[in-house]
Amino acid sequence: MRKPVIAGNWKMNKLVGEASELVAGLWEEISGQDAVEAVVCPPFVDLPSVGRLISERGMTLGLGAQNMHWEESGAFTGEVSPGMLTDLGVTHVIIGHSERRQLFGETDQGVNRKVTSAFEHGLQPIMCCGETLKQRESGQTEDVVSGQVKCGLFELPAEWVSGLVIAYEPIWAIGTGVAASTADAQEVCGYIRGLVAAEYDTGVAESVRIQYGGSVTPENISELMAMDDIDGALVGGASLKADVFSRIVMFS
């Protein structure tokens, strides 16, 4: 049985005080649940205070970063290392989000190095992939996703891939209020599981967890989670309010 993993990607939102308020709200709504692996991914500067709150209150809530560098330290102005994250109690890290790829030039090779480094540091990577509207409309969805996933997984050992979280996020569904249909989301998530089976074996494919992301809300989460190959969600806008994100986490 794959445990569902639902992560809130706060993107570049929430000052330190606002971040604490949001997590305090989550504590009231979801503190006891453990049916789902729930994770919040605040901006870097909020990680210390959010991490402190999570541990003080004994919350079963993962703490995720939205990005990291693959190197341990060095002359990389503006970057944050995996060791800096684990030092703060960070447990998860989003890697290769489409906004990082489109706006900050992240490549599949960089994603592969970051995923490798995350595993080496005991962080749970959430590796993102997904196609643009143009690519979908021209029938390239599978080629694009397959390229991203295969390159992201390059030379990763099977034990790591078994523990990986892959987030399928069609770019046209992110922040638009138009989620993929459950059938379309299932189709691509099933395709990704098939890719993992072909690159590794069915055992690895059965344990990798695949999230859907893109305009997930309390209204569509149950239907998405009912799909065979959807094991969770990566949630942007709807993760910024405690009551809304809690309803997504408590979908069942």
- Which amino acid is residue 157, in one-letter code? P
Residue 236 Cβ vs ligand PGA, minimum distance, rounded to whole Å: 2
Spatial separation of the C-alpha atoms in residues 69 and 146, rounded to whole Å: 24
173 touches 136 (CB < 8 A): no
Binding mask 174-213 for ligand PGA (x = CB under 6 A): xx-------------------------------------x
Instruction: Output the CA–CA distances (angstroms, integers) from residue 132 to 48, 98, 178, in the order listed.
Output: 34, 9, 14
Spatial separation of the C-alpha atoms in residues 124 and 118, rounded to whole Å: 7
Instruction: Output the CA–CA distances (angstroms, integers) from residue 238 to 15, 100, 117, 126, 148, in the order listed.
Output: 17, 20, 29, 18, 26
Q: In the complex with ligand PGA, which residue's Cβ is closer, 37 or 169? A: 169
Among residues 96, 27, 94, the alpha carbon closest in space to that of 55 is found at 27
Residue 174 Cβ vs ligand PGA, minimum distance, rounded to whole Å: 4
The single residue listed with the structure tokens 């706060």 is 10
- Residue 8 interacts with ligand PGA (CB under 6 A): yes or no: no
- Binding ligand PGA (rule: CB under 6 A), the pick from 62, 237, 242, 245 is 237
Among the listed ranges 67-75, 112-120, 189-197, 231-239, the one in contact with ligand PGA (CB under 6 A) is: 231-239
3-state DSSP of 144-159:
HHHHHHHHHHCCCCHH
- Residue 215 interacts with ligand PGA (CB under 6 A): yes or no: yes
Task: Write out the H or E segment, with its range, that includes residue 219.
Answer: none
- Binding ligand PGA (rule: CB under 6 A), the pick from 5, 6, 9, 46 is 9
Spatial separation of the C-alpha atoms in residues 200 and 15, rounded to whole Å: 42
Q: What is the CA radius of gyration of the chain?
A: 17
- Binding ligand PGA (rule: CB under 6 A), the pick from 36, 61, 123, 216 is 216
Catalytic residue among 37, 99, 106, 169: 169
Binding mask 146-175 for ligand PGA (x = CB under 6 A): -----------------------x----xx
Binding mask 105-144 for ligand PGA (x = CB under 6 A): ----------------------------------------
169 touches 175 (CB < 8 A): no
Residue 137 annotated as catalytic: no
- Binding ligand PGA (rule: CB under 6 A), the pick from 170, 236, 245, 246 is 236
Which residues of the shown chain bind ligand PGA in the complex (CB under 6 A)? 9, 169, 174-175, 213-216, 234-238
Q: What are the catalytic residues?
A: 97, 169
